[in-house]
Structure 1
Amino acid sequence: MVADPPVVEATGVTKRFGSTVALHEAAIRIDRGQTHALVGRNGAGKSTLVSVLTGLQAPDAGVVTFGGERAPRLADRDAWRRRVACVYQRSTIIPELTVAENLFLNRHDRGRGGLIRWGTVRRKARELLDTWSVDVDVRVLAGDLDVERRQFLEIARALSFGARFIILDEPTAQLDGAAIARLFTRIEDLQRQGVTFLFISHHLQEVYEICDTVTVFRDARHVLTSAVGDLPRAELIAAMTGGAAGAGAARRGPSAEAPTVLDVSGASLRGSYTDVSFHVRAGEVVGLAGAANSGRVEVAETVAGLRAATAGTVEVDGSRPVPGSVPAALRAGVGFVPQDRHRQGYVAQMSIADNGTLTIPDRLGPAGLIDGRRRDGFARSMIEKLAIKAPGPELPVSGLSGGNQQKVVMARALANDPKLLVLINPTAGVDVRSKEFLLGKVEEVAESGSGVLIASDELDDLRLCDRVLVVFQGRVVAEIPRGWHDHQLVAAMEGVDLDG
């Protein structure tokens, strides 16, 4: 009996951009019905491989086949859409259009005179979504959908072209635990209907939860492919990083005499959180844990000046910044790493130097004028301290990998020597090595005497905290000291009483 050819196979793929080798004789084989993980550090070649597998880039050498047949010409976009689709971390849905319009963009049924038959478009959209069990109103604007439903919409759109091979690029980066569970259920349902997935994630626990096979890339090369169940986590991390994973040293924590640098008292924000009170001492790392809609993000954004509490007070180092004012928070001594680096963290076409010094223009020259040499000197120091991989400070941030972009955001947050560093999901969508580096930098900041507030649902972000405050449905429901077990914290985040 002849085995089915793989859904997609790449062999000997090499791709160069100038002197940079993005892929070197790379290979991957994905069999029908699999959920196949692709993992590796930023710069390992994952994004370049995706661009080759989706026909956005032609390899300099090597072969790509779909079902045993050579890949189409790059110009034949319809042929590529019938074979493969990618749901990217940043949505490609057009928010100003309805769900139906997004599903059949440029494929509308037309009647006499070329007029679009909107009733037919909406009917076909409903039939398509029903076929793939996607519960979304086809008449609503796509911009009104949450991240989870936008992803389901993109998957349904891909399937409507005939593709049965879907690449999911960091699909869980902006989802809470419940939404991730629903996504995994949908993936399993679609697998049973003959859909194959390539799953790209920096969260290795997700690889073990949902994937059958894992392929590791490192330094532009294929390192290994293994059944997930046969590969211990330590070996997977070693393959990704080129060395064994080691445990971090325990932090000393704040001294007993450390002063309070953040005091939140009775703070409330209508529709987000109610009567929240806590403090952070100098040298202390405090976590705010909770699901995506728990209110933890809104609390952190209030401290950083992005939101104004409707009741209660926020004091930073003994002063009360103007509520809802980022400049006032900066003057009070707050450094901030926002939730979404793409939308809130940097200006993509501006240079590393300009992005990294946005919060300190007064240090770069007299009378509001910026001395370019002083700015670039500061940026070079920042590049060195945060190990940003870039040829120089003039490079636009858009030219960096995700991990290095996040380092630029961190550098900007640290530029004003903050007394309090506030971070929201600081390692979302970055590779393992960058994640370890960023969390190590947070520890350095605390050891230097600054207070740190981390709002996250990522357990690895919270492990370095001296204590974790659990936010559930807008209220702080628990305070958990260092040394917690995963099941204990997750249960509190989900509102589950393990003793009940």
Structure 2
Amino acid sequence: MSTPLVEARGVAKRYGPTVALQDGRLTVLPGESHALVGRNGAGKSTLVTILTGLQAPDEGTVSFDGEPAPPLTDRDAWRRKVACVYQKPTVVPELTVAENLFINRQPTGRGGLISWRRLRSEAADVLATWDVRVDPEARTADLKVEDRQMVEIARALSFGARFIVLDEPTAQLDNREIERLFTRMRALQESGVTFLFISHHLQEVYEVCQTVTVLRDARWITTAPVAELPRPALVEAMAGEAIAERAAVRDTAPDDAPVVLRTEGLTSDAYDAIDLTVRRGEVVGLAGSSASGKIELAESLAGLYRPTGGTARLDGERLPFGDVQAALRAGVGCVPRDRHEQGLVSGMTIGDNATMSVLNRLGRYGFIATDRRREFADELIDRLDIHAEGPDQPVSDLSGGNAQKVVMARALASDPRLLILINPTAGVDVKSKESLLSRVDSARDDGTAVLVVSDELDDLRRCDRVLVLFHGRVVAEHPAGWHDHELIASIEGVDHGYGISPGGQPRTPGRGERGPGG
């Protein structure tokens, strides 16, 4: 066996009484894609901060190519060893690609001034070397997410690093973008680049990785070749117990149940002539690619945008558009697509975040009854099984799964007649996902009309029926019990005259957890 490119042994890290990592182990061989998986709070992020030189371990060792890791103060040495591409880009959006590639190390000419000609030329050479096909003079903010990620990878490679950590790189990508990322990863592997791949989408591990390491409860659990670890065994290693499969088909809302939401001819730049209904106690899914218009449609119904035509009625009353507060008062609750940017106020507590949509119920004449708010927040924490110290804990302290539960708690706090969920389980672990989806079942049982917009097949399995949008129009409807390949074919446009993959068959990516939508 060759010398490991990266090796961590017996790594431990504590923050006061909190043990963030107790027995971190990792052995990554040159040229492989190595998956690091585990539930939120398993220790993955802590291990990454140690592997990238942001923190020193309290115990244990880290080595690169058999040599001890550099001192934390030698940042240039760390940059030559490793880089991390995070879910949120770290590029400066208003700078050009070339400026981002050489930020703080711009080539200079006479008088110490920046040589813009050399900067553009050297940036073009770096991009060409690693086959990153973007314009070095393009403003980075104008790039697609996948291209921004490749710019970050190229920047790391330009320092000499050949070990790249990809932290949830597919979270904001649709299926085609994911496949392009994986193709680029494979090409870079052939050029001698090694990846540590972190994802909650386990099928992606099977698609792109050769080896997987599992952490659980701050400890190393196992490292195994991906081909030798079936998915049920991987889930069990992550969760510490077997996760039972849920039945895909359940009792659906009766045909005579009253219609809660009805849209007629709803139209905007992103979607066209949308007619749909959601009945009391019914869960309807919206699926489609990133360009399908499904998210824009849901956000319009939640009050974020104003359509250019058509109508929507909630229990017979016109639904207000372009006014989130008015939509909330009308009976719409929403879990937005990005909990960081749209769902949470990070500087506030769990209680503040969970109750901000119902402050009018917690006091009179503009004054909030503190005890009543605390009591209400405690009820929401119990109802959503949020693992926290209490309502006064900062929401920024929570893991991704518990933070998403706070967003869900706020959406449910107002007892909405229509609940809109946009990518409700994005970036959460297996158990948190199951807990969040159980809230969908509870809402159905309570008679709430639910609209689920998701890229996750497991989210859509909870639905009584799934509508597929393609280029802004509803092109298919699948009742509960659909097969993966049927839904994927509709999303890809292969079953309604929009083309098929080479060989004449629908190309199914095999994602057990994730569909090809964006």
Q: TM-score range by the shorter chain?
A: over 0.9
Q: Which amino acid aligns with 2:263?
A: V
What is residue 187 of structure 2 aligned with on the other side? Answer: 189
Q: Percent identity?
A: 61
Q: Which amino acid aligns with 2:390?
A: G
What is residue 306 of structure 1 aligned with on the other side? Answer: 304
CA distance, structure 2, for counterparts of residue 376 and residue 107 of structure 1: 51
1:373 CA displacement: 2.0
What is residue 251 of structure 2 aligned with on the other side? Answer: 252
What is residue 260 of structure 2 aligned with on the other side? Answer: 261
Structure 1: which 5+ runs fail to align? none
1:72 CA displacement: 0.9
1:4 CA displacement: 2.6
What is residue 221 of structure 1 aligned with on the other side? Answer: 219
Structure 2 counterparts to residues 85-100 of structure 1, below 5 A: 85-100=83-98
**2:450 pairs with 1:443:** no
Q: Which amino acid aligns with 1:181?
A: E
What is residue 148 of structure 2 aligned with on the other side? Answer: 150
CA distance, structure 2, for counterparts of residue 258 and residue 332 of structure 1: 20
CA distance, structure 2, for counterparts of residue 354 and residue 488 of structure 1: 43
Q: Secondary structure at the match of 1:357?
A: helix
Task: Report which stretch shifted further, 373-382 or 434-443.
Answer: 373-382
1:113 CA displacement: 2.6
| 1:369-388 deviation digits (Å, cap 9, x = unpaired) | 22222222211111111111
| 1:169-208 deviation digits (Å, cap 9, x = unpaired) | 1111110000000000000000000000010011111111
What is residue 493 of structure 1 aligned with on the other side? Answer: 491
What is residue 175 of structure 2 aligned with on the other side? Answer: 177
CA distance, structure 1, for counterparts of residue 483 and residue 36 of structure 2: 28
CA distance, structure 1, for counterparts of residue 222 and residue 23 of structure 2: 13
Counterpart among 149, 156, 159 of residue 157 in structure 2? 159
What is residue 58 of structure 1 aligned with on the other side? Answer: 56
Q: Secondary structure at the match of 2:360?
A: helix
What is residue 513 of structure 2 aligned with on the other side? Answer: none
| 1:307-357 deviation digits (Å, cap 9, x = unpaired) | 111011111222112211111110111110111111111111111111111
What is residue 230 of structure 1 aligned with on the other side? Answer: 228
Q: Secondary structure at the match of 1:27?
A: strand
Conserved? CA contact 2:6–2:27, under 8 Å? yes
Structure 2 counterparts to residues 72-111 of structure 1, below 5 A: 72-111=70-109
What is residue 476 of structure 1 aligned with on the other side? Answer: 474
Q: Secondary structure at the match of 1:359?
A: helix
Conserved? CA contact 2:31–2:193, under 8 Å? yes
Structure 2: which 5+ runs fail to align? 506-518
What is residue 327 of structure 1 aligned with on the other side? Answer: 325
Q: Which amino acid aligns with 2:404?
A: Q
Q: Secondary structure at the match of 2:273?
A: strand
What is residue 516 of structure 2 aligned with on the other side? Answer: none
1:294 CA displacement: 1.1
What is residue 25 of structure 1 aligned with on the other side? Answer: 23
Q: Which amino acid aligns with 1:488?
A: E
| 1:133-182 deviation digits (Å, cap 9, x = unpaired) | 11111112111112111111111111111110001011111100000000
Q: Secondary structure at the match of 1:360?
A: helix
CA distance, structure 1, for counterparts of residue 346 and residue 382 of structure 2: 21
Counterpart among 271, 287, 290 of residue 288 in structure 2? 290
CA distance, structure 2, for counterparts of residue 353 and residue 197 of structure 1: 39
CA distance, structure 1, for counterparts of residue 425 and residue 324 of structure 2: 22
| 1:253-295 deviation digits (Å, cap 9, x = unpaired) | 213331111111111112x111111110011110000111211
Tell me the TM-score normalized by structure 1: 0.97
Q: Which amino acid aligns with 2:250?
A: R
Q: Secondary structure at the match of 2:453?
A: strand
Task: Report which stretch shifted further, 364-373 or 485-494.
Answer: 364-373
Conserved? CA contact 1:317–1:332, under 8 Å? no
Q: Secondary structure at the match of 1:168?
A: strand
Conserved? CA contact 2:301–2:319, under 8 Å? no
Counterpart among 28, 33, 36 of residue 35 in structure 1? 33
CA distance, structure 1, for counterparts of residue 62 and residue 405 of structure 2: 34
**2:216 pairs with 1:212:** no
Counterpart among 124, 128, 135 of residue 130 in structure 1? 128
Instruction: Calculate the aligned-residue CA RMSD, in Å.
Output: 1.2
CA distance, structure 2, for counterparts of residue 96 and residue 387 of structure 1: 41
Aligned length: 497
| 1:63-93 deviation digits (Å, cap 9, x = unpaired) | 0111111111111111111111111011111
| 1:211-267 deviation digits (Å, cap 9, x = unpaired) | 101111111111111111111111111111111120124432213331111111111
Structure 2 counterparts to residues 429-468 of structure 1, below 5 A: 429-468=427-466
CA distance, structure 2, for counterparts of residue 186 and residue 373 of structure 1: 55
CA distance, structure 1, for counterparts of residue 80 and residue 335 of structure 2: 40
CA distance, structure 1, for counterparts of residue 110 and residue 391 of structure 2: 57
1:114 CA displacement: 2.3
Conserved? CA contact 2:146–2:177, under 8 Å? yes
1:406 CA displacement: 0.6
Conserved? CA contact 1:292–1:457, under 8 Å? no
CA distance, structure 2, for counterparts of residue 378 and residue 5 of structure 1: 57
Q: Which amino acid aligns with 1:34?
A: E
Q: Secondary structure at the match of 2:61?
A: strand
Counterpart among 202, 218, 241 of residue 243 in structure 1? 241
What is residue 394 of structure 1 aligned with on the other side? Answer: 392
Conserved? CA contact 1:285–1:464, under 8 Å? yes
CA distance, structure 2, for counterparts of residue 205 and residue 169 of structure 1: 16
What is residue 419 of structure 1 aligned with on the other side? Answer: 417
What is residue 348 of structure 2 aligned with on the other side? Answer: 350
Q: Which amino acid aligns with 2:97?
A: V
| 1:381-436 deviation digits (Å, cap 9, x = unpaired) | 11111111211211221111111111111111111001111011111111111111
CA distance, structure 2, for counterparts of residue 27 and residue 464 of structure 1: 37
CA distance, structure 2, for counterparts of residue 243 and residue 125 of structure 1: 49
1:108 CA displacement: 0.6
Q: Secondary structure at the match of 1:457?
A: coil
Q: Which amino acid aligns with 1:495?
A: G
